[in-house]
């Protein structure tokens, strides 16, 4: 029988702004399970753009303090514990939850369709609409909790959920197969590096944007699919590279969300645009299977202790790393 403490460590986001809005508490209340939920003892939790975007209010289309600053377009309820990439051990199951999960190491699907046993009208994202894994314990819906059998460490496994599921969702929406040539932007980041592995696992040919010389070779070759995580001022070139009947999938805008679109390029080349945010059914299950088979590998750039979360987020913003940064709760 596991003894669950009444209080826990957690890093709370107390408002929109800089890293000064992150507050470490050592006596926060351990969350209680409700219908259809499990309690997870967190081993590690990865960092993501969603953490930064929620903290600074980037999702708001107006004032960063506005009522639409959460991932889902609502109001962020403070204090909020962030951390969408969760790996840990299920230590308690609530009413109606699958008891077979008890004691299992698990990954949590970060895009939620159910909370407290109730289906959501609009999906939530862990760490924005509800508390996440930068804490000793976190609540997860049993429906979104996936046992995993792997020799990988908690930190390595925590590099997978958000980035790899986002990438797999983009490839799924774009119907990528072994006949396709892909262009992936932001290829050194978490989602971009994941997309490279997952696309290769499908047998596709992959091109990554990495400087002007590579850029010109891509222009000459043309591609069937663009996997875009960048946006920004160079965005129109992506449609020029994309062949007729090509598919453009986007799930990020780190270089800027406002772009110039020449509609003639879109309709005269019969291109298809795919916005990719909410995970399709089956995406996370396929991801867990690929991890267990060893078909994809973690790209763990660096681990930080929980107490160093502000430093981890500052490191994240430099983008001077390949793969994922992770908070390891055992450090």
Instruction: Give the residues across from 126 on adjacent strands.
Output: 130
Output the pTM of the full model. Answer: 0.89
Domains and CATH numbers, the chain: 7-160+298-328 (3.90.180.10), 163-275 (3.40.50.720)
pLDDT of residue 117: 87
3-state secondary structure the chain: CCCCCCEEEEEEECCCCCHHHEEEEEEEECCCCCCCEEEEEEEEEECCHHHHHHHHCCCCCCCCCCCCCCCCCCCCCCCEECCCEEEEEEEEECCCCCHHHCCCEEEECCEEEEECCEEEEEEEEECCCECCCCECEEEEEHHHEEECCCCCCHHHHCCCHHHHHHHHHHHHHCCCCCCCEEEECCCCCHHHHHHHHHHHHCCCEEEECCCHHHHHHHHHHCEEEEEECCCCCCHHHHHHHEEEEEEEEECCCCCCCCCCCCHHHHHHCCCEEEECCCCCCCHHHHHHHHHHHCCCCCCEEEEECHHHHHHHHHHHHHCCCCCEEEEECCC
pLDDT of residue 152: 98
pLDDT of residue 186: 86
pLDDT of residue 214: 46
pLDDT of residue 1: 66
**CA–CA gap between residue 63 and residue 59 (Å, rounded):** 10
Cβ atoms of 326 and 158 closer than 8 Å: yes
**CA–CA gap between residue 309 and residue 278 (Å, rounded):** 27
**CA–CA gap between residue 140 and residue 237 (Å, rounded):** 41
Cβ atoms of 114 and 168 closer than 8 Å: no
Return per-residue pLDDT of the chain as tens, 331 residues: 688 999 999 999 999 999 999 999 999 999 999 999 999 999 999 999 899 999 999 888 776 566 788 888 888 999 999 999 999 999 999 999 999 999 999 999 999 999 988 999 999 999 999 999 999 999 999 999 999 999 999 999 999 999 999 999 999 999 999 999 999 998 878 888 899 999 999 999 998 874 444 455 555 667 999 999 989 998 999 999 899 999 999 998 888 889 999 999 999 999 999 999 999 999 999 999 999 999 999 989 999 999 999 999 999 998 888 889 999 999 8
**CA–CA gap between residue 192 and residue 112 (Å, rounded):** 22
pLDDT of residue 213: 41
């Amino acid at each position: 029988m596991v003894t669950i403490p009444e209080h826990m460590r957690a890093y709370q986001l107390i408002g929109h702004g800089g890293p000064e809005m992150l507050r470490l508490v050592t006596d926060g209340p351990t969350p209680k399970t409700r219908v259809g939920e499990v309690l997870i003892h967190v081993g590690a939790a990865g960092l993501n753009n969603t953490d930064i975007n929620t903290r600074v209010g980037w999702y708001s289309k107006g004032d960063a303090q506005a009522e639409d600053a959460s991932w889902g377009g609502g109001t962020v309820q403070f204090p909020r514990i962030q951390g969408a990439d969760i790996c840990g051990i299920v230590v308690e199951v609530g009413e109606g939850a699958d008891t077979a999960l008890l004691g299992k190491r698990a990954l949590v699907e970060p895009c939620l369709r159910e909370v407290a046993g109730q289906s959501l009208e609009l999906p939530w994202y862990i760490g924005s609409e509800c508390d996440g894994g930068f804490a000793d314990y976190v609540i997860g819906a049993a429906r979104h909790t996936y046992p995993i059998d792997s020799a990988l460490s908690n930190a390595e496994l925590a590099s997978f959920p958000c980035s790899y599921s986002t990438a797999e969702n983009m490839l799924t929406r774009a119907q990528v197969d072994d006949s396709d040539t892909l262009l992936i932007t932001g290829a050194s980041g978490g989602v971009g590096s994941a997309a490279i592995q997952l696309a290769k696992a499908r047998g596709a040919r992959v091109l990554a944007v990495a400087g002007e010389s590579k850029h010109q070779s891509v222009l000459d070759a043309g591609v069937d699919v663009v996997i875009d995580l960048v946006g920004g001022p160079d965005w129109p070139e992506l449609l020029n590279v994309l062949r007729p009947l090509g598919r453009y999938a986007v799930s990020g805008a780190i270089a800027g969300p406002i772009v110039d679109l020449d509609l003639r390029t879109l309709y005269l080349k019969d291109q298809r645009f795919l916005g990719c945010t909410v995970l399709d059914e089956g995406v996370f299950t396929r991801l867990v299977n690929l991890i267990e088979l060893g078909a994809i590998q973690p790209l763990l750039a660096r681990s930080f202790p929980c107490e160093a979360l502000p430093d981890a987020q500052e490191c994240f913003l430099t983008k001077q790393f390949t793969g994922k940064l992770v908070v390891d709760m055992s450090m």
